[in-house]
C-alpha cells in the first residue's frame, strides 16, 4: 500500500492505494480513508433552435440575460412601433419587457412561451 495526500477543491484527503501485482506488506489499516471525489460529468448542452437567416437590413433582438419566456406579445407578420413590448422574459423572479429597438415587421420569432433562453440567444427578428 502507498499513501498519498490528494487535494480536491481545497480539501486534503489522505488515501491509500494498493499496487496491482504488488506485495502486501502489513495488515490493512483499520481507519477509513476519505472517499475519493469523482469528477463531475460535463452538462450536456441543450439543443439549439435552428437559426433563421435575417434579411438584409433586419434587426435581431437577442436575450440580454438567461431566463424563461413568460409571454409573447406579438406574432410573426405583426407590425410594431419603436419601443413596443415584444415579449416578457422572466429572470431572477422578475418580469423584464423586451421592446422593439425600431419600428418594423416581425419577420420571425425564435422562441416559444415557457422556453428557457441564455444570454445572446436570438428572440425576435424585425425587418
* 109 pLDDT higher than 60: yes
Higher local confidence (pLDDT), 95 or 31 = 95
Q: State the cell numbers at 110.
A: 425564435
Count of structural domains, the chain: 2
Residue 63: strand, helix, or coil:
coil
pLDDT at res. 63: 94
53 occurs within a structural domain: no
pLDDT at res. 95: 94
4, 31, 38 from 27: Cα distances, Å: 18, 12, 27
DSSP classification of residue 55: P
DSSP classification of residue 64: S
d(CA 78, CA 81): 10
Question: Do 79 and 117 share a domain, yes or no?
Answer: yes
Structural domain range at position 5: 1-37
* 92 pLDDT higher than 50: yes
d(CA 79, CA 115): 23
pLDDT at res. 8: 82
Amino acid at each position: 500500500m502507498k499513501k498519498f495526500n490528494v487535494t480536491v477543491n481545497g480539501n486534503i484527503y489522505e488515501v491509500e492505494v494498493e499496487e496491482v501485482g504488488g506485495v502486501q506488506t502489513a495488515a490493512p489499516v483499520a481507519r477509513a480513508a476519505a472517499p475519493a471525489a469523482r469528477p463531475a460529468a460535463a452538462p450536456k448542452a441543450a439543443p439549439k433552435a435552428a437559426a433563421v437567416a435575417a434579411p438584409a437590413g433586419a434587426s435581431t433582438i437577442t436575450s440580454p440575460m438567461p431566463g424563461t419566456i413568460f409571454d409573447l406579445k406579438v406574432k410573426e407578420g405583426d407590425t410594431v412601433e419603436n419601443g413596443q413590448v415584444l415579449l416578457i422574459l422572466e429572470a431572477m423572479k422578475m418580469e423584464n419587457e423586451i421592446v422593439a429597438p425600431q419600428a418594423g415587421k416581425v419577420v420571425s420569432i425564435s422562441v416559444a412561451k415557457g422556453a428557457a433562453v441564455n444570454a445572446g440567444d436570438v428572440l425576435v427578428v424585425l425587418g
